[in-house]
Amino acid sequence: MSVTETARQERVIELRLGPVAHGGHVVARHEGRVVFVRHGIPSELARVALTDADEGAKFWRGDVVEVLEASPHRREHVWDLADSLRAHSEGRLPVGGAEFGHIALDEQRRLKAAVIREQLERLAHLERDIVVEPVPLRPGAADDGGGLAWRTRCSFAVTPEGRLAMHAHRSEELIPITGMPLATDEIDALHLWELDLRGVERVEVAAPASGSAPLVVFTLADGVAPARLTEILDGLDPAVSASAVGSAALGPGAARSPLTVRGRGSVTEHVLGHHYTVTGEGFWQIHRRAPETLVTAVLDALGGVLAAGAQVADLYAGAGLFTAPLAAAVGPGGYVLSVEGSPGTSRDARRTFKRQPEVAVVQGRVERVLRTQGGPGAFDAVVLDPPRAGAGREAVRQLVAAEPKAIAYVACDPASFARDLGWFRDAGWTLGSLRAFDLYPMTHHVESVALLLPPAHAN
Ligand SMILES: C[S@@+](CC[C@H](N)C(=O)[O-])C[C@H]1O[C@@H](n2cnc3c(N)ncnc32)[C@H](O)[C@@H]1O
């Protein structure tokens, strides 16, 4: 077996790649040790640069730098900067965020389905056939945009020289970028990479799926005066309309305050007839079709439980994506408890629902709020949409005790979902429908919507 080095002095070993694993890797073995390999495809023979390979480590990590026997599903990478083969030949790391960009889209979905299936078997002891559904870029169209131009939210770093950049995977290394093929055309049209961003630490962009003006949030480095923002914005093409917010802290440890320097400090999102205000601080789903895809799947899953007058909880509610259709379903005689931990995002929800007395927006941790507002019989139905870490043991215990008739679990991480599902199953709950959606093409991420049913339902 040949062992060589890359231009970055990483050791390179030859490996036969095995099955896909959670987290965007395939699994290989080198002298008995597991190696988690990125940028490969199961069955390939590849030369792999070891990016984490301490002698004492239980497992190593590596990037494919050359393919000796290619999978029939291998394609030219959709983004040069994220292409591991090209990056390592140029002596740099690939930019993160498109780690499946070298795989045919159909195969990306099969691999994601395999990961969900494997996590369910391992952590929830459940066998289920999974199909990851493609999501067209426009309603009613078949076209999924080739897996590109779907991101309505992007977060960028800035190099010390003031260039727009992104990080390499698990690295502090910054790679200047001149385009982002996964971002929507509205974000692309801003040409943020042409700006002189000296004095800025981070740039976040939110471009509503409706195509209305994007919002750009510039986080200034500590001590940089807000006047710097005006200079930066002078570099934006005046023909492109965008709102801009700066976040400045004028001294070390000084509080940061958002400062609207152009247009509005928020965007309005429209989903199936509902309108939402989302500020720069607020969470919103990333794929342009994610909101309506997930709302439709959740309403379908909860079906008859959402009758007029029902009591429901929207947990990990964000800006209230599910709160609005839930409120419409239960009507003025019903009740929706909308719980979100992040103060900025919860403020957005409060603004959106301020004229709806049937909606109670509560800012706080789900586990804490359920302690006082989640006793037995508190809810007919629950929507549970936790972050990647999942809901966790305490929230699952409280929900089991609350005895709702159904829970729609919206999961962005198959492993934490399967772990939580295992705990629900230990308490006698069953898995009803389970749908999975390709809401993050070119990456290993996948979203699913599951219906969980309490023991009484099974009898
Ligand atoms: C995956 S997002 C879902 C948001 C919303 N349901 C949507 O689809 O737009 C998860 C949300 O949970 C919030 N969050 C994370 N941990 C939390 C906790 N322990 N309690 C309450 N909210 C939390 C995050 O701030 C984030 O807004």
Could you read off the pLDDT of 6-41 as tens digits, one per residue? 767 789 999 999 999 999 999 999 999 999 999 999
- Token pair 């629902």 is found at 353
* DSSP string for 319-359: TTTTHHHHHHHH-TTSEEEEEES-HHHHHHHHHHTTT-TTE
Count Cβ atoms within 10 A of the Cβ of residue 368 and give its class: 0-12 exposed, 13-18 middle, 19 or more buried.
middle
Of 278, 283, 284, 314, best ligand 1 pocket probe by most atoms within 8 Å of the beta carbon: 283
Give the pLDDT confidence score for residue 149 in this predicted structure: 95
Angle between helices 366-373 and 392-402 (to 10 degrees): 20
Rounded CA-CA distance 24/111 in Å is: 9
pLDDT of residue 34: 97
Residue nearest to atom 22 of ligand 1 (CA): 341
Q: Maximum CA pair distance of the chain?
A: 71
Residues within the annotated binding site for S-adenosyl-L-methionine? 285, 316, 340, 385
Mean local confidence (pLDDT), 232-258: 73
Is residue 1 over pLDDT 50?
A: no
- Taking CA atoms only, the protein residue closest to ligand 1 atom 26 is 318
Q: Alpha-carbon torsion 277, 278, 280, 281, what sign?
A: positive
CA distances from 177 to 156, 363, 421 (A): 9, 37, 40
- The answer to whether the CB of 221 falls within 8 A of the CB of 272 is no
Which of the listed residues 340, 347, 350, 412 should we mutate to test ligand 1's pocket, taking the one with most ligand atoms within 8 A of CB? 340
Tell which atom from ligand 1 comes closest to the C-alpha of 291.
8
Mutate to test the pocket of ligand 1, among 277, 298, 316, 416 (most ligand atoms within 8 A of CB): 316
Please say whether the dihedral angle defined by the alpha carbons of residues 247, 250, 251 and 257, taken in this order, is positive or negative.
Answer: negative
E strand intervals along 95-196: 132-133, 153-158, 164-167, 174-176
- What pLDDT band is residue 240 in, cutting at 50, 70 and 90? confident
Mean local confidence (pLDDT), 329-349: 96
Phi, psi (deg, nearest 5) at residue 185: -60, -35
154 belongs to the catalytic site: no
pLDDT band at 459 (very low <50, low <70, confident <90, very high): very low
First to last CA, the chain: 59
Using the atom order of ligand 1, give the atom closest to the CA of residue 395. Answer: 19
3-state secondary structure of 30: strand
Q: Does residue 84 have a pLDDT over 90? A: yes
Distance 385 CA to ligand 1 centre (A): 7
Of the ranges 2-16, 181-195, 237-251, 422-436, the best mean pLDDT one:
422-436
Query: Rounded CA gap, 453 and 223, in Å?
Result: 53
Q: Is residue 2 over pLDDT 60?
A: no
Residue 177 above 50 pLDDT? Answer: yes
pLDDT at 380 > cutoff 80 = yes
User: Domains of the chain, with CATH numbers?
Assistant: 3-98 (2.40.50.140), 148-264 (2.40.50.1070), 284-458 (3.40.50.150)
> Quick one: pLDDT at residue 234?
84
**What's the rounded Cα separation, in Å, for the pair 455 and 459?**
7
Ligand 1 mean position, distance from CA 41 (Å): 32
Strand partners, 21: 25
Quote the CA–CA distance of 254 and 227 in Å, as a whole number.
17
Is the model more confident about 229 or about 43?
43
341 CB under 6 A from ligand 1? yes
For residue 129, count other CB atoms closer than 10 A to its CB: 7
Q: What is the mean pLDDT of residues 264-291?
A: 92
CB 7 within 8 A of CB 100: no
**For residue range 409-447, what is the model confidence (pLDDT) as tens digits?**
999 999 999 999 999 999 999 999 999 999 999 999 999
If pLDDT is split at 50, 70 and 90, which confidence band does 253 have?
A: low
Which two three-digit tokens encode residue 123?
Answer: 């952590």
The pLDDT value given to residue 271: 97
Structure tokens belonging to residue 442: 């070119």
| 325 CB near ligand 1 (under 6 Å) | no
What pLDDT was estimated at residue 419?
98
- This prediction has a pTM of 0.95
Cα(453)–Cα(397) distance, rounded to whole angstroms?
A: 14
Q: Relative to the CA of 365, which ligand 1 atom is closest?
A: 20
Q: What is the mean pLDDT of the chain?
A: 93
Confidence of residue 250 (pLDDT cuts 50, 70, 90): low
Ligand 1 within 6 A of CB of 387: yes
**Residues in CB range of 17: below 8 A, 6 or more apart:** 26, 27, 28, 37, 40, 41, 42, 43, 44, 45, 46, 64
Atom of ligand 1 nearest to the CA of 345: 27
DSSP state of 82: G
User: Does the beta carbon of 385 lie inside 6 Å of ligand 1?
Assistant: yes
CA of 431 to the centre of ligand 1 (A): 22
How far apart, in whole angstroms, are the C-alpha atoms of residue 313 and residue 335? 8
Closest among 71, 51, 77 to 146, alpha carbons compared: 77
Measured from the CB, is residue 342 less than 6 Å from ligand 1? yes
Other beta carbons less than 10 A from residue 295's beta carbon: 22
455 CA → ligand 1 middle, Å: 27
Q: What is the pLDDT of residue 3?
A: 56
**What is the band of 457 on the pLDDT scale with cuts at 50, 70, 90?**
low
Mean pLDDT of the 113-128 span: 98
Residue 423 and residue 391 in contact, taking contact as beta carbons nearer than 8 Å = no
Per residue in 293-319, pLDDT tens? Answer: 999 999 999 998 999 999 999 999 999
Question: Does the beta carbon of 244 sit less than 6 angstroms from any atom of ligand 1?
Answer: no
pLDDT at 248 over 70: no
**pLDDT > 90 fraction of the chain, expressed in percent and rounded:** 78
Catalytic residue among 206, 412, 421, 453: 412
Question: Residue 334 Cα, ligand 1 centroid: separation in angstroms?
Answer: 23
Residue 348 CA to ligand 1 centre (angstroms): 13
318 lines ligand 1 (CB under 6 A): yes
Binding site membership of 283 for ligand 1 (Cβ less than 6 Å): yes
In which element (H, E) is residue 346 found?
helix 343-352
The response to whether residue 412 sits with its C-beta less than 6 Å from ligand 1 reads yes
Report whether residue 276 contacts ligand 1, using a CB cutoff of 6 Å: no
How close is the Cα of 214 to the center of ligand 1, in Å?
23
- pLDDT-derived band at 259, boundaries 50, 70, 90: confident
| Mean pLDDT, residues 103-113 | 98
